[in-house]
A and B are shown apart, each in its own frame.
Chain A
Amino acid sequence: MALTREEVEHVAWLARLELSEEEIVRFQEQLSAILEYARMLEHIDISQVPPTASVLPMRNVMREDEVRPSLPRDVVLANAPEKESGYFRVPPVLEDTE
């Protein structure tokens, strides 16, 4: 199962990941090899098998809905690349989105 160049570009777009020309070519090759290897799973009969998302038998874990202390705003903003008036600052959102 070989990946096409378009598929790699599409997935990179979904993941919001800029790839160089060289990376696109290399990943196409390497991911094709991995998916080829994954074909061994096709030989296992899974028709009656439920999927495992978690090994634990738990369902929803509930807690009391009560107000508890949270991190102060300046601490939350301390690692921000850019901030302004108590907010995270980013470039324009509603311009060209391709």
Chain B
Amino acid sequence: MDELYRLTAHEARDLLRKGEISATELTQAVLDRIHAVEDKVKAYITLTPEIALAQAAEADKAFVQARKEGRAHTLPDLLGIPLAVKDVISTAGIRTTCASRILENYIPPYDATAVQRLRAQGAVILGKTNTDEFAMGWSTENSAFGPSHNPWDLTRVPGGSSGGNAAALAADETIIAIGSDTGGSVRQPAGFCNLVALRPTYGRVSRFGLVAFASSLDQIGPMTKDVTDAALVYEAIAGHDPRDSTSVDRPVGEVRRALGQEVRGLRVGVPREYFGEGIDPRVADVVRQALRVLEDLGARLEEISLPLTRHSIPVYYIIAPAEASANLARYDGVRYGYRAEAATLWEQYKRTRGRGFGPEVKRRIILGTYALSAGYYDAYYLRAQKVRTLIRQEYETAFRRVDVIAGPVAPVVPWPIGWAMENPVQVYLTDLLTISQAIAGVPALAVPAGFSDGLPVGLQLVGRPFDEETLFRLAYAYEQATQWGKKRPVIE
């Protein structure tokens, strides 16, 4: 079979179980693909081909044994499936840099829970993918290792911060991926690269081993080539973990059962703010067509209003940097990571941090420290936390009327590499449509919705807390009706 690297996880699973392909063949095909296109795409920070092939060989043993015993269909879905892991998620024995000079040589002694659960299924780790430094950014331009390139147009960004994952998936340099989402970091790059991504409800997926950026906002989520794969990865990583006190003890269920179920009668809210000021009209047009498809499928569209959408930007840029400034205090050159030598400990702290962190991280540490400092705490941080309550209430009110809220993932198409570096503050406005869900803690899913001048545009579906199932149901129906995700870029 040709081009095994183009398979989705569920397609590969079916072939693996039947013995038509081996995990080693599949992994080797993806490694060859990486070898062929990675120079242009630059999706990975660290590649682990030896580990991947060893895991694939283990998987093949399990397949052979299970087929012999007639129980191949009972094996885990992700056994032998190649996986990319964003480089802010800890992997035991594999360098985890956070795309920062300060962790350039850091090797975690343990796996993140999400990684541990994927390893337990037998997923094959290909390597660690590029991101903005400590997941702070929207394009991977803030990576200490240089930007990744969008396979749909190599002169443009793949989005961020999980842009390495998105670039790798779009270029078929992996089959599945996991990233982190603090204000849109799995959804926006999925939208920019014609992919599927889920930000789960806050508390669904353990944050243990996810290098902390903003703890009240961070969530790990799947990034995949289609909705079915997203459901399989989500089922694998979600669920209670005693090692993360904010992980919720609540059954995840088999969301795959929602795939293929009827969507007739679902009430879909369309916020007028998601199509107004600050939204590229070309993006709005593509997403309006997507909404018509939802209507054709039997969903009932209803115009709603979320007037605080705009205010979510300043709320985010106070709360996230404030939490980050506390979380990043641990990088002091003592226990791990980069150290700049100095005569005193005091000087060593300042110099280590000043030289180890890149410009965006420093900007946010300064901003966050300022917002928490004496005399400004009430004016900024406390005020932002109160407006956060109002944003949550706005969603609660909306979800009394509708089952799902739909709109674009990002207000813009992928920008040319270099733009964010020249406009570090203006770029904050491009996350207009992805941060309010993180602030409210509600789940949101990105699914391919078509193209504008050859560049991908994503449809975002937002759900009630803990109702990922309805998002999967509607996203699957839309995907089957449109098949946008089947399109692949030509890389040359």
Residues of A in contact with B (beta carbons under 8 Å apart): 3, 7-8, 10-12, 14-20, 23, 27, 30-31, 33-35, 37-38, 40-42, 44, 46, 49-56, 58, 61, 63, 71, 75-76, 78-82, 88, 90-93, 95-98
B106 contacts which of A55, A56, A79 (Cβ < 8 Å)? Answer: A79
Residues in A with CB closer than 8 Å to B383 are 41-42, 46
B344 pairs with A46, CB closer than 8 A: no
- Give the interface size class of chain B: 35 or more
B388 contacts which of A20, A33, A51, A80 (Cβ < 8 Å)? Answer: A51
Per the bound structure, the CA–CA distance linking A94 and B10 in Å amounts to 60
Residues in A with CB closer than 8 Å to B344 are 91-93, 95-97
**Stretch from B282-290, B350-358, B414-422 at the A interface:** B350-358
Per the bound structure, the CA–CA distance linking A96 and B347 in Å amounts to 9
Look across to chain B and name the residue whose beta carbon is closest to the beta carbon of A92.
B344
Residues in B with CB closer than 8 Å to A71 are 109-110
Per the bound structure, the CA–CA distance linking A43 and B113 in Å amounts to 42
**B367 contacts chain A at the CB level, 8 A cutoff:** yes
Residues in B with CB closer than 8 Å to A80 are 334-336
Residues in A with CB closer than 8 Å to B491 are none
Look across to chain A and name the residue whose beta carbon is closest to the beta carbon of B342.
A91
In the complex, besides A37-B313, A40-B314, A52-B392, 12 extra interface pairs with C-beta distance below 8 angstroms are: A15-B369, A17-B350, A18-B350, A50-B389, A51-B382, A52-B389, A55-B441, A71-B110, A75-B109, A78-B109, A79-B337, A92-B343
B385 CB → nearest A CB, Å:
3
Residues in B with CB closer than 8 Å to A93 are 344-345
Per the bound structure, the CA–CA distance linking A21 and B462 in Å amounts to 44
Interface of A is mostly: loop
**For residues 77 through 94 of chain B, which have their beta carbon under 8 Å from a beta carbon of chain A?**
none
B384 contacts which of A41, A55, A91, A97 (Cβ < 8 Å)? Answer: A41
Residues in B with CB closer than 8 Å to A31 are 363, 366-367, 370
B325 pairs with A56, CB closer than 8 A: no
**B70 contacts chain A at the CB level, 8 A cutoff:** no
Residues in B with CB closer than 8 Å to A54 are 216, 246
A44 pairs with B387, CB closer than 8 A: yes
A38 contacts which of B109, B245, B318 (Cβ < 8 Å)? Answer: B318
Residues in A with CB closer than 8 Å to B357 are 17
Shortest 6 CB-CB contacts between residues of A and residues of B = A18-B354, A55-B441, A51-B385, A79-B336, A81-B339, A38-B314
Per the bound structure, the CA–CA distance linking A76 and B107 in Å amounts to 11
A77 CB → nearest B CB, Å:
8
**B202 contacts chain A at the CB level, 8 A cutoff:** yes
Per the bound structure, the CA–CA distance linking A80 and B362 in Å amounts to 23
Residues in B with CB closer than 8 Å to A3 are 370
Given the interface contacts A18-B351, A92-B345, A95-B344, does A38 sit within 8 Å of B385 by beta carbon? no
**B399 contacts chain A at the CB level, 8 A cutoff:** no
Residues in A with CB closer than 8 Å to B310 are 40
**B451 contacts chain A at the CB level, 8 A cutoff:** no
Given the interface contacts A44-B311, A92-B345, does A7 sit within 8 Å of B370 by beta carbon? yes
Most buried by A among B107, B216, B325, B354: B354
B392 CB → nearest A CB, Å:
6
Per the bound structure, the CA–CA distance linking A20 and B357 in Å amounts to 13
**B440 contacts chain A at the CB level, 8 A cutoff:** yes
Residues in A with CB closer than 8 Å to B334 are 80-81, 88, 90
